[in-house]
Structure 1
Amino acid sequence: MRFRQVHLDFHTSELISGIGKRFDQEQFQSMLKLGHVDSITIFSKCHHGWAYHPSVHNEMHPGLEFDLLEAMIEAAHEIGVKTPVYISAGLDEKLALRHPEWLIRDFNDHTNWVDGFMKPGYHQFCLNSPYLDLLLRQVDEVVRGYDADGIFLDIVGVRPCYCHTCINAIRKQGGDPRDKEAMLAMWERTYANYCARVRETIDAVKPGLPVFHNGGHIRRGRRDLARMNSHLELESLPTGGWGYDHFPLSARYAQGLGMEFLGMTGKFHTTWGEFGGYKHPNALRYETSLSIANGAKCSIGDQLHPEGLMDEATYRLIGAAYREIEQKEAWCEEVASIADIGLLTLEALQAHSEEKKGDRAAGSDAGAIRMLLEGKWLFDVIDLESDFQRYKVIILPDLVTIDEDLQAKFNRFIAAGGRVLATGRSGLNAEGNAFALDFGAEWVEASACRPDYFRPHFELQNLGTASFVFYSEGQSIKLTDGTELGHREQSYFNREAFAFCSHQHTPSALRHDGPGMVESGSGIYIAWNVFEDYAAKGSLALKEVVTYALNRLLPDKTLATGLPAQGIVTLMHQERENRYVNHLLYASPVKRGSGVEVIEDMIPLYDVPVSLRLPSEAKKVYLAPQMTELPFDTSDGCIHYTVPRLECHQMVVIDV
């Protein structure tokens, strides 16, 4: 896979004429060079349903008079730029109006993406309908007729559908369409059949041609779905609805799948389809640097004007980022992450249930990722198939209950010296009525008091000791043979119509109402959903309690740094080159408008200290790509160096 890709959207209404009339090979090439682009995904078929080339199995856009796809492929290949080809698989609005019976329907017979034909927008097709055969003919036509470097199929996944085709199919199989589990199993089969038939169609012409099926998110815990692709493209536009939490969470899971992957952001101020919207160059510099710091290649979304003229402002913007990436690629090929901690996310445990967009980077998973990033911990995002023995600590955020198989896996992990940090209902058995792991405490019940208070038996780094309000659900526990690290204090009463105090909640009654945080040989348990609470409220006390716990569990952590909270740090091992690469990033997103986070100013940091505990002795430490050697010293089993200046992104290379 190439490092510097562009995903060139071209969803163009039939009401617009003169399609591609200003396309010019030299101008196209000059923009790719200006943007330092080495691969560009171009369109065969858009969401409106039109082809951008002569077609037997589709119809060429009525406003197009030449083979635009072929012209783009020839222009790009002439300058060494690859051209994966895009086909809209889930959406085809031209066809939706002709065959509405092939569309996905919800339980109440509504269509999606829009729930009717009197609203602007697209309608998604059911891949269990006759539409699939037509789509496969369109794929075959492109693979046979064009020198595509891959196929990108969009708007697909395991989709709930109650169209007449799906209902008839489940009934013929002896199932009941009112049985959600039976329907989910059929939706899974529908998607697997689609992926298999696409692969067969492509391999019949060009065996092994790369293919990616895009659904906007790679589901944690669904390795089977991930492996239906030749590689992964992590669509994650921070300003387009994904936010800045999503990519690190998704990338640190993808790292463990053994597949090449890229991070896809966009040049837009908001999201796809925004003509005339531009990010600040510093935002793209940061987002592409974040990709390579997490072991990914890069992709930036753009949208071509209907007349086919590449936008110079866009490619100046992209070039500002990709010029830097081009200089850094040598230190980012074939890398593996170094991690002390494995984060077992909730999505990974719920992955075989119906996908919900809100699970992508929300709630407990989002709170955990924020704390770990802000705390500069080295971590991977893992699932039930991951090798637990790679980690010193595994975090169970808030709602991870333990069945017998998972309990056996944790018993082996703990017996080998691993430790667990569990919070809230995590660590309870599948029935939710007792601890499955031994935290030196007995579970009693969910706390009747909400919110209540935690009084640590240690000083928080910035806040000292106090009764700290925890807003999330808590669990009442009794100490057995564990060590109490802090206790619960309930309020006088819960707030309700005839019992309330002050503006928000009732204060602590200042009583010891049982343990709130305990430690045993297995690890540490905190009796609230602290990660969910942090995602919602962001209280400093929550983070400092977790930081204290992790410092106890990881006295010999691999990396320590003075990078501020908004900084991000990763450590990659480049085995082939016998070196480690320490990535440091710093930017501070701010809210702009209604809920849009933007990056604009890049504030340089100076003299950032880093300490690394590595299994091999360091021979040389230097900045990349500058090739400037850094002085370092070794003490207490660690190497220590100082990064003299960090502006957006800096790599430090440790030759061993």
Structure 2
Amino acid sequence: MRFRQVHLDFHTSEAIEEIGSHFSKQQFQEMLQLGHVDSITVFSKCHHGWAYHPSTANEMHPHLSFDLLGAQIEAAHEIGVKTPVYLSAGLDEKLARRHPEWLIRDPQEKLSWSPDFMTPGYHQFCMNTPYLDILAAQVREVVTRYDADGIFLDIVGVRECYCQSCVAEIRRRGFDPRDLEAMRTLWEETYFRYAKAMDEAVHAIKPGLPVFHNSGHVKRGRRDLAKLNTHLELESLPTGGWGYDHFPLSARYAQGLGMDVLGMTGKFHTSWGEFGGYKHPNALKYETALSLANGARISIGDQLHPTGLMDLATYTLIGEAFREVEAKEAWCADVTSIADVALLSAEAAGEPGTAGQQADTGAVRILLEGHYLFDVVDTESDLSSYSVVILPDVITIDEPLKTKLTAYLAQGGKILATGRSGLSPDGSRFELDFGATPHGAFVSNPSYFRPDFELPSLRNASFVIYADGQDIQLNSNGTQLGSRENSYFNRDLFTFCSHQHTPSNLQDAGPGMVEGPAGIYAAWNLFADYALKGSLPVKEILHYALDRLLERKTVRTNLPAQGVTTLQAQTDNNRWIHHLLYASPVRRGQNVEVIEDLPVLSDIAATVTVPAQVREVYLAPQRTPLPFRQENGSVHYTLPSWSCHQMVVLQF
């Protein structure tokens, strides 16, 4: 899989004429070369439903007079650029108006995506209808007629649907459509049947051709869904609704699945379909570097103008980022993550809702800002290489997970758990020994934590915690690390105080954080609290707990809080690559995070614990030797001034 891909959207209305009229092989090639692009996803079929080539399985766009897809493939291949081919699978607006009975419906018969046919927008198809056979024929046609380097199928996944095809099928099986579990089984089967049909449509003709089914998010904990793909493309446009927290969370999980991974961002200021929108070149430089640091290759989203003319400003912008990627590729291929900490994803452990999302997001932010080396794992992951496993906020312990974690603890591992994590599913007991006993949920909201340790940035105090939590009692084998205090009363009609909430009554209400044989337990949903409030005390409390459990961090650095550090091993080259990144997103407009300035950092030092003698340390891709000293199992070095992204190579 190539490092420098463009995803060239071409969702083009039938109301626009002269489609592809300005396409030029020479101009297409010049823009790809300007952009340092080595792979470009081109369109067979768009969300409007039209084909961009002669077709018997579909209909060519009414205002296209030639084989645009074939011309793009020929032009790209002529200069050594690969061409995966895109087909809109879940959306086909042309066909939606002809066969509305094939569309996804909710229990009230409302449509998916656009709510009706009087509102501009698309409508999503159910794959438990004759539409599946039509789509399979379209895919077969592309694979048969064109030299595609892969197939990208969009807007698919396990979908809730109550269309009449699904209702009839569930009744044929003897179930009631109001039986949610029966419907979930049907929805899962529908998606797997779709994936099998697409696999047969592709691989019966071209075995081994890459295929990816895009749902906008790779669900953690569903390896069966991930393995339906030959590789993963992690759609994560920071300004398009995903934010800058999503990609590290997604990538730190995906790399551990042993599949090739592309990180997908966009050139847009906001998101897909934004003609005339451009992000700052520094943002793309940072986002592409973030992919490399997480073991991923890169895809940048663009949208082709209806005339087929490639945009000079776009490929100049992309070229600034991809030029740097091209220089770095040798140190970023075939890498494996080195990590001290495993974050057991709440989503992967069966908490897919808002609470699980907040727990995962807050945990990743805490780990990034503390410069910990971490992987995101699921319940199938091998935990033996990690010093600490984090159970964020909402992970109750069933028997299989208890067995796994007990074995992990027996080999010397430690656990950091917060909130409901570590409890039995009914909340009556801890399934792991944290030296405490639970006694139900807090009544006080909010409550306060007074640590028995000093925070680095603040003198000791009663620190407000907004999140829910658990009342606990210390056992004889536990050590209290801080106490909980309640507010005088909860805010209510006749009992409220000041502008927000009632202060602490300054009375000890029991332990707030404890340490026992299994590790450390904090009584609040601290990771969700950090995701929602971003409180400095909460961050430093969690960093204290992690540092107490980690006997020795593999990497220590004085990067600023918004800096990111990862460590990747290139085993075949007998070297480690230490990635350091820094950019600070700012908020513009209405909830749009942008990166514009890339400040120069100086005097950034690092200490890396290594397993063997290091022969040399150098900067990549500059190949500049870096002075270092190795003592007591660690390598120490200080970087010269740098900005955005610097790789340090430790050659054994």
Query: Post-superposition shift, 1:636?
Result: 3.3
Residue pair 2:427, 2:440 contacting (<8 A) in 1 also: no
Name the residue aligned to 2:537.
541
Name the aligned partner's letter for residue 601 of structure 1: D
The residue aligned with 1:71 is 71
Secondary structure at the aligned position of 1:198 is classed as: helix
Which residue pairs with 1:612 in the alignment? 608
Q: Which residue number corresponds to residue 494 of structure 2?
A: 498
Distance apart, 1:174 and its partner CA: 1.2
Conserved? CA contact 1:585–1:646, under 8 Å: no
1:397 aligns with 392
Query: 2: distance between equivalents of 1:397 and 1:146?
Result: 48
Aligned to 1:586: 582
By how many angstroms is 1:646 displaced? Answer: 2.2
Q: Are positions 1:103 and 2:103 aligned together?
A: yes
- What letter is aligned with 1:375? G
Note the 1:142-153 alignment, pairs <5 A.
Answer: 142-153=142-153
Counterpart of 1:629? 625
Distance 1:369 1:209 in 2: 34
State the partner residue of 2:561. 565
User: How far did residue 445 of structure 1 move?
Assistant: 1.1
> Could you tell me how far 1:618 is from its partner in structure 2?
1.1
Alignment partners' CA distance in 1, 2:527 and 2:302: 35
Between the aligned partners of 1:615 and 1:28, the Cα distance in structure 2 is 49
* 1:645 partner amino acid: S
Counterpart Cα distance in 2 of 1:592 and 1:362: 24
Separation in 2 of the partners of 1:207 and 1:492? Answer: 68
Rounded Cα–Cα distance in structure 2 between residues aligned with 1:627 and 1:520: 47
Higher alpha-carbon deviation: 342-351 or 236-245: 342-351
Aligned-partner Cα distance in 2 for 1:126–1:492: 54
The aligned counterpart of 1:377 is 372
Q: In structure 1, what is the equivalent of residue 226 of structure 2?
A: 226
Question: What is the alpha-carbon distance in structure 2 between the residues aligned to residue 107 and residue 80 of structure 1?
Answer: 50
Output the amino acid matched with 1:422. A
User: What is the alpha-carbon distance in structure 1 between the residues aligned to residue 380 and residue 101 of structure 2?
Assistant: 40
Any gaps of 5 or more consecutive residues in structure 2? Answer: none
State the distance in 2 between where 1:392 and 1:594 align.
Answer: 41
The residue matched to 1:513 in structure 2 has which SS?
strand
Unaligned ranges ≥5, structure 1: none
| Aligned residue in 1 for 2:452 | 457
1:515 is the counterpart of 2:511: yes
Give the whole-Å Cα distance in 2 for the aligned partners of 1:651 and 1:596: 29
The residue that corresponds to 1:114 in the other structure is 114
- Specify which of 455, 468, 477 is matched with residue 472 of structure 2: 477
Q: Distance in 2 between matches of 1:230 and 1:652?
A: 31
Q: Distance in 1 between matches of 2:372 and 2:343?
A: 11
Listed as ranges, the matches of 1:255-294 within 5 Å are 255-294=255-294
Partner residue in 2 for 1:551? 547
Q: Give the Cα–Cα distance (whole angstroms) in 2 for the partners of residues 64 and 130 of structure 1.
A: 27
- The answer (yes or no) to whether the contact 1:346–1:397 under 8 Å persists in 2 is yes
Residues 1:652 and 2:651 are matched in the alignment: no
Residue 346, structure 1, aligned to residue 351, structure 2: no
Distance 2:453 2:261 in 1: 43
Identity %: 65
Report the 3-state secondary structure (helix = DSSP H, G, I; strand = E; otherwise coil) of the residue aligned with 1:147: coil
Structure 2 SS opposite 1:63: coil
Aligned partners of 1:651, 1:412: CA distance in 2, in Å? 36
Aligned equivalent of 1:418: 413
Structure-2 separation of matches of 1:482 and 1:212: 49
For the residue of structure 2 that corresponds to 1:571, the secondary structure is: strand
Q: Distance in 1 between matches of 2:491 and 2:201?
A: 62
Q: Distance in 2 between matches of 1:612 and 1:591?
A: 34
CA deviation profile, 1:264-319 (whole Å, cap 9, x unmatched): 00000000000000000000000000001000000000000000000000000000
- CA deviation vs aligned residue, 1:535-590 (integer Å, no higher than 9, x gap): 11000000000010011100211110000000000000000000000000000000
1:121-179 CA-to-partner distances (Å, cap 9, x unmatched) read 00000000000000000000000000000000000000000000000001111111101
SS at 1:299's partner residue? strand
- Describe the superposition over 1:600-654 as per-residue Cα deviations: whole angstroms up to 9, x where unpaired: 0110101200001111121110000000011111233211001112210000000
Does the Cα contact within 8 Å between 1:586 and 1:646 map onto a contact in 2?
no
Q: Tell whether 2:612 aligns with 1:638.
A: no
Q: Could you tell me how far apart the structure 2 residues matched to 1:156 and 1:310 are?
A: 28
CA displacement at 1:362 relative to structure 2: 3.6
CA distance in 1, matches of 2:551, 2:507: 32
Q: Tell me how far apart the structure 1 counterparts of residues 515 and 633 of structure 2 sit (CA, whole Å).
A: 27
Separation (CA, whole Å) in 2 of partners of 1:381 and 1:464: 33
Match of 1:199, SS?
helix
Give the residue type in structure 1 aligned to 2:580: L
1:444 counterpart = 2:439: yes
Shift, 1:388, TM fit: 1.2
Q: Deviations over 1:300-342 (max 9, x none)?
A: 0000000000000000000000000000000001000000000
For the Cα contact (< 8 Å) 1:450–1:474, is it kept in 2? Answer: no
Q: Following the alignment from structure 2 to structure 1, what is the Cα–Cα distance between the partners of residues 459 and 359?
A: 25
Where 1:228 maps in the other structure, the secondary structure is coil
Q: 2:611·2:633 contact (CA, 8 Å) conserved in 1?
A: no
Computed over aligned residues only, the root mean square deviation of the Cα atoms, in angstroms, reads 0.9
Identify the residue that residue 527 of structure 1 maps to in structure 2: 523
Q: Residues 584 and 646 of structure 1 are in contact (CA less than 8 Å); yes or no, is this contact kept in structure 2?
A: no
How many angstroms apart in 2 are the aligned matches of 1:632 and 1:177? 67
